[in-house]
Structure 1
Amino acid sequence: MSEVTRPRIRYMPGLDGARGLWVVLGPLLYHARPESVPGGPSIVPGGILSLDLFFVLSSFLIMTIALREWDEAGRIDLKGYAGRRARRLLPAILVALVGLTAYLVVFGRPEQTDRWTGAIFSALTYSANWHEIAADISYFEHYRTPSPLKHIWSFSIEEQFYVFAPLFLIVGLGLLRRSERLLLAVAVLGAGASAWWMAVLHEPGTDPSRVYFGTDTRAQALFVGIVLALSARMVGPPETERGQRFVALAAYPATAFHLWAVLYVSQHDDWMFERGGFLLVASVSAVIIYGLSVPAPWSPLHRFMASGPLRFLGRISYGLYLYHWPVYMLVTGDRLGRLLPGVDRVSGLWLLAVHLAITVALASLSFYVVERPFQARRFPLVGRPATALSGTVAAGVATVVILCGLLWVNTRPSTAEGGFETAGGVCAEQGLLPPPGDGRVRVLVVGDSVSVQVAEGLCAWSLDNPGRMVVMNEAHLGCVVGRYGQKRVPEGIEGPVGDLCSAWNEAVPAHVMLERDVVSWPTAVELFRPDVVLGHITPWDVTDRLVPSLGKEWVWVGVPAYDDYISSEYRLASQVLGSGGAHVYWLEGTHLRRAITPQNHPDRIDRLNELVAGATVDLEGVSVVPYREVIGEVGSDRERRMRDDGVHLTADGLVEVAEWLIGEVFIETR
């Protein structure tokens, strides 16, 4: 079948409106924070679930078109299919990737190079979801400064499906001799198998990013779309007015459920992963899609979904999703404040409004100048007809520009002699360790996510002040000082303390330290020979704990047995970290504006600070430093400027804490 005569399906305005509504109530608001981005509590904790509706909708439409082509031609034109997908998806994402590569070349810091390079290259190859999994990147840790392509993983899953869908149909209908019922059964089994595999892989109380990113675990929504397309084809549209009304009304409770899920469900709800929650959301999404596909001018919901503003947002939804996260990342409240006279920082709903306005403007420009012209086989702006060859050449040139830019930023000289790039910035690594006595202060950083950030700030300072300091970042997400056992994590869920942190006191061979998932403070001290060690009195140590050596009862700060235990742990850690003669500084635990768990009460944090100070008071070269004074009181303007989510540091906070540590606490740089 020729490209000109390819089959089309009836335009359904309600589906465009659904795209527009759920792209806003989903990712645009889920990623947006009223104070700044990234960080802070999400406005819609279940906004991640809107992507399942998009997965189902994309699958439904692709399969419906492919089935119609099979009916009319007896085959599927794979070349034409691939061309249509390329013209629909590639132009906008290539423009975005060229722009981000240019930003990295001109403005990027060395500590961004590795993270951005992997993100851009995996986006270019539509393998972003598997790159995130392989790199052990969390989708749900918003405090770290992620790449501006953190959200592209969903495009990768859809593109992988676009390759699979026509082959599934060709093989299925060909081998099964057009047995649609058997093909439908295979799709149902595929959805169930994917949901089952998600339940198998998910571990309660742990970060669910693996099962959230995986094509294998998210394919359930795509299979549901196939089921919907096959079912709609077999049953046909409702022919009676009563049937049409029934189908249209079914969209009401389905929409209400989806709205409830977006507002109240979060990644902490294990039932979503282990009891078919994502499959349920996908199935409800199918009901919404089928209900809105039926003309129902009498229905307020259908009229709302078919309204002009929502249909417009739906038409530009690809660009809205593509551009929103880079905008949130790069257009910060601090940068906006520097552009406006008399304003230090734009925050709150004003920042959200600016982000949404810029995103809509970019998406509209992309739709009218880039996406629609290429879909119509015309060159943007000039309107002249474009051939397949010219489009291929344009895509090739853009790809070469991206690859050359990435090659350049990864090979340009670094100002950090003897350093390398880690999760915490340009720091030292064994094998590349500069020898002691070169005049630079050697700082070893250990601890949890706050320590990770502080190390980033110190590494950035060392780049701006070459020859004065070298930093080894041995901090890891969620690390505790109190080893072993279990802790109660968000929503009261019980989870392991973590093997990484539980072995911090054990020495390992030097080559093992090169692995990202190894924590050994004695080996780090021996290899790096620091002058200064910096740790953090972590709020994870005030959560309810089940410690094997203390029996089978849950304990916490304030229980005498646990007080003795955690005091001895911090004392041992101080002795291990100071065994090479370094001065050990513990950042005082601060009150939190966002509770990591319900047990992070200020009284517990104050008590832990007292315990650590008491346990180390007689140790020479160990100090607890007043980190709380630098952060400010919880809820104050200063604290909100320093910590956008009430726990982790903003970009400004990183700079101020680094300067405070260097100038007033432990480093003489003058």
Structure 2
Amino acid sequence: MSTSDATLAPTRAERHQKPRPASDFRPDIQGLRAIAVGLVVLYHLWPKRLSGGYVGVDVFFVISGFLITSHIHREIVSTGHLRVTRFWARRIRRLLPASLLVLVLSGLGVLLFAPSTTWAQTAREIAASALYVQNWQLATSAVDYMALDNVPTVAQHFWSLSVEEQFYAVWPVLILGLLAVMRLRGHRDTRKAVLAGLALLSVASLTWSVVSTLQDQAFAYMSTFTRVWEFAAGGITALALVSLRRPGATVAAWLGLAAVVGSGSVLTEASLFPGWVALFPVLGTVALLVSGAETPVGRVLATRPMTFVGDISYSVYLVHWPLIVLVPHLTGHPLRWTEKLLILVATLGLAWLSKTWVEDPLRTGPLLSKAPRRAFVFALTAMALVVGSTTTWGAVLEQREQRAATEAAQRIEAGERCLGPRALVPEDGCSSVAGDGPLVSPPEAVVAQSKDPLFTRCQQSLGNPALLDCVLGDPSGAKGTIALVGDSHAGALIPTVDELGKRRGLKVVVHTKGSCPATDARRTVEGETSDERQASCTAYNAAVDEALLADASVSLVLTSSYTRAYGWEGTGDGPETGIAGFASRYERWRSAGKQVVVIADVPATAGEPVPNCIAQHLNDPEACAVPRAEAVVPDLAVSAAERAGAPVVDLNDLFCDAASCYSQVGDVIVYRDRSHLSIEYARMLAPFLDSRLR
């Protein structure tokens, strides 16, 4: 694909003031790359000490916009056209060999050293990274409540590389499109026209970034559309760049450096980023680009140590994160200072090797550079091999999960004496709480339940306030109807209550919604940046109330909530507001003639997802236990039930003994993540809930 002649005519200002040649090599830009990658790597290693180091990615985006737009402008002005296929081939030679090699080696590292619970998620993300859509994969997970406990994978950092590749794919076509439109409209000053087009694009993207960040920060952070303006800022700088005179250049350089480094030091994970806050690192980078290499700051950036790190910055970014993820699996503990320093040294060494033996030879050698089609064939073949391998990997894991589910159902149906919660029943005389046989479902099958829950139609998503039509148990309702109401912890009891309904001949109506406890109080959740989810929860709770009060067939309401996960807004102190909100709802249901039973929330677990812990301690599952005094925490719903005169069913004795609360009981993994019950354990609680309700 190539274009007809499309030139950028110089403006009057450009005819009177010579622009700085965009084609000149800028060693200070290499130094700026070193600062950018340094911010990111140090943030990943010491997030509390450099809490805003993630802005290094934004610095890279601006630099990319500057350099790529400079290249496109230079080629169009000098040749009268732009060969887009050659442009894309150069990007392939520069970026894909090293990135795909790192993906392959990282996947092998996960298979060798990481627990099996991480394999399926890793396979999905490596495939997405190979196709350069990892940012959208993570953006989707960021708004998926059931994926919030996902642990970082070796490919997670490819989100920013995916955004960059999408930029490289679209940017030359976009600029040529702007040129074509302006020529059709009779504009001869195409430089000014393109600048105007990029300015409009930048304003639109920045506006969307601000709005999207307020609505859903997690999604906005990964979205390509909220980052376009950062590339555009670099592009505008490239087209409008003129030499600054001292002392203006020196002042701009110091202000730019302060904005970039200051953002990395001051911002935190709680900052509303990207949004308008990203203006600080972006404009700081623009100031450094404009000020040039002749300022004191520019001369420091152009020193050999800085340019060396800048030269290998791409490989540094590629290799540092897999090391950070994999080393703790090798050592069996979180990273310590000495290990972090060793990772820094190893990152620089591996990055230099990658640059010397992979990037440069394939970028400049005859194998891929003789003709663009060679680069495209390489890209398609290598990406297909990576995606095909990970797809096969995922299919094998899925077959193992299906086989495990079948075997689990057979063992549960057989009713082994010490299986599951029965191992904690003193009368059964079981010798081991954890069990001494094979696991009913292996850790990788249990962790997959969060991604693919059994009753997908029964728990409403975070942003949707509509009721779902979910009927379980005995749909005929021959012996009555009961309702299960609450947030995702109530949703985790769906297998329990479904089994209960089948045992008693009861129809079960389910009203559960992630992060939405059944309360009249206004809950707050750490990390929520807008009122959208709160408004959705309020509307959902109102709809549940209306449905329950209008349905005379519902005689019993079972409810449970993850109360320790929320804060509360109100006139009193937080806990009192929460208790009052739950109590008022229970009283309203009771006044309507419903019996209300609160099921006490499950005990708390340790920090990491339970299946991961079990996978790493298969021979010592009690290492994943938590002292009972720490695990059994106050449940505001229980306090509210006592105030409202509603009975409480407490199942903690089926999770804990007098000393500890367990993550594996009777050969069954108790939780599928950090706090939600596994399907197997929830189902096996049914006879105990049945007897206690009677």
- Band the TM-score falls in, shorter-chain normalisation: 0.5 to 0.7
CA contact (8 A) 2:92 2:376 kept: no
Report the CA distance shift for 1:350/1:177 in structure 2 as closer, same or farther (over 3 A).
same
Hey, what does 1:556 align to over in structure 2? 574
After superposition, the C-alpha distances for 1:466-491 in whole angstroms (9 at most, x for unaligned) are: 99999768858973645355334559
- Contact 1:23-1:317 within 8 A present in 2 as well: yes
Retained in 1: the 8 A contact 2:559–2:599? yes
Deviation of the 1:226 alpha carbon: 1.4
CA contact (8 A) 2:568 2:574 kept: yes
The 8 Å contact of residues 173 and 179 in structure 1, kept in 2 or not, is answered as: yes
Are the structure 2 counterparts of residues 492 and 106 from structure 1 closer, same or farther at C-alpha, using a change threshold of 3 Å? closer
Q: Report 1:115-194 matches (<5 A).
A: 115-136=121-142, 144-174=150-180, 175=183, 176-194=187-205
Cα drift, residue 434 of structure 1: 7.5
- The answer to whether the Cα contact below 8 Å between 1:442 and 1:470 also exists between their aligned partners in 2 is no
**Which one of 25, 42, 47 corresponds to residue 29 of structure 1?**
42
- 8 Å contact 1:462–1:470 — kept in the other structure? no
TM-score (norm 1): 0.66
Structure 1 residue 165, shift from structure 2 partner: 2.2
| 2:501 aligned partner | none
Secondary structure of the equivalent of 1:229? Answer: helix
The residue number in structure 2 matching 1:317 is 313
Is 2:409 aligned against 1:403? no
Task: Tell me, yes or no, if the aligned pair for 2:206 and 2:229 is still in contact at 8 Å.
Answer: yes
> In structure 1, what is the Cα distance between the partners aligned to 2:378 and 2:299?
41
- Does structure 1 retain, via aligned residues, the 8 Å contact 2:560–2:637? no
**Counterpart Cα distance in 1 of 2:559 and 2:410:** 19
Q: Which residue of 1 aligns with 2:250?
A: 248
Equivalent-residue separation in structure 2 for 1:265 and 1:468 (angstroms): 37
> Whose Rg is larger?
2
Q: 1:218 aligns with which of 219, 224, 227?
A: 227
Q: C-alpha displacement at 1:145, in angstroms?
A: 0.9
Distance in 1 between the 2:102 and 2:257 partners?
32
For residue 540 of structure 1, report the CA deviation from its aligned partner. Answer: 2.6
Report Cα offsets for 1:105-130 as digits up to 9, x if no partner: 66676644542233222222222222
Q: Deviations over 1:638-665 (max 9, x none)?
A: xxxx9xxxxxxxxxx9899999x99xx9
CA distance in 2, matches of 1:9, 1:319: 24
Q: Alpha-carbon deviation of 1:347?
A: 3.5
User: For the structure 1 residues 131 and 590, does the alpha-carbon distance in structure 2 shift closer, same or farther, using more than 3 Å as the test?
Assistant: closer
Residue 93 of structure 1 is matched in structure 2 by: 99
Structure 1 residue matching 2:392: 3-state secondary structure: helix
Q: Residue type matched to 1:203 in 2?
A: L
TM-score by length of 2: 0.64
Contact 2:259 2:280 in 1 (8 A): no
- Give the deviation of 1:92 after TM superposition: 0.7
Which amino acid in the other structure matches residue 42 of structure 2?
L
In structure 1, distance between residues paired with 2:660 and 2:603 = 10
User: Could you say what secondary structure the match of 1:99 adopts?
Assistant: helix
Taking a change above 3 Å as real, the CA distance of residues 11 and 478 of structure 1, as seen in their structure-2 partners, is: farther
- Measure how far apart 1:590 and its partner are: 8.7
CA distances 1:508-528 after superposition (whole Å, capped 9, x unpaired): 9xxxxxxxxxxxxxx9x99xx
Is 2:56 aligned against 1:73?
A: no
Q: Does 1:437 align with 2:422?
A: no
RMSD: 5.2
Q: Secondary structure at the residue paired with 2:153?
A: coil
Measured against aligned partners, the alpha-carbon deviations of 1:115-157 in whole angstroms (never above 9, x if no partner) come to: 2233222222222222323344589x99631332222121122
Give the partner amino acid of 2:93. Answer: R
Which residue is equivalent to 1:608?
634
| Amino acid corresponding to residue 30 of structure 1 in structure 2 | Y
Residue identity in the other structure for 2:210: A
- 3-state DSSP of counterpart to 1:544: strand
Distance 1:188 1:417, change over 3 A: closer
After TM superposition, give the deviation of residue 286 of structure 1 in Å: 0.7
CA gap 1:504/1:486 in 2 versus in 1, 3 angstroms: closer
Structure 1: where are the runs of 5+ without partners? Answer: 34-40, 338-344, 421-425, 444-459, 509-522, 527-532, 547-552, 574-578, 593-603, 633-641, 643-652
Are 1:119 and 1:150, in contact at CA under 8 Å, matched by a contact in 2?
yes
**Alpha-carbon contact 2:560-2:601 (below 8 Å) kept:** yes
For 2:349 and 2:189, the matched residues in 1 are separated by 46
Q: Does 1:540 align with 2:565?
A: yes
Decide which moves more: 472-481 or 157-166: 472-481
Distance 1:362 1:572 in 2: 65
With over 3 angstroms needed to count, the CA separation of the structure-2 counterparts of 1:501 and 1:363, relative to structure 1, is: farther
**Structure 1 CA distance for aligned equivalents of residues 441 and 114 of structure 2:** 13
Runs of 5+ consecutive residues of structure 2 not aligned to the other structure: 3-20, 422-437, 460-487, 490-512, 546-553, 590-594, 608-629, 664-671, 688-694
Question: Does 1:336 pair with 2:341?
Answer: no
The question of whether the paired residues in 2 share the 8 Å contact of 1:102 and 1:405 is answered with no
Residues paired across the two proteins, number? 537
Q: Secondary structure at the match of 2:652?
A: strand
Q: 8 Å contact 2:116–2:444 — kept in the other structure?
A: no
What letter is aligned with 1:62?
I
Q: What's the CA shift for 1:283?
A: 2.3
8 A contact 2:563–2:635 mirrored in 1: no
Deviation at 1:377, TM superposition (A): 1.6
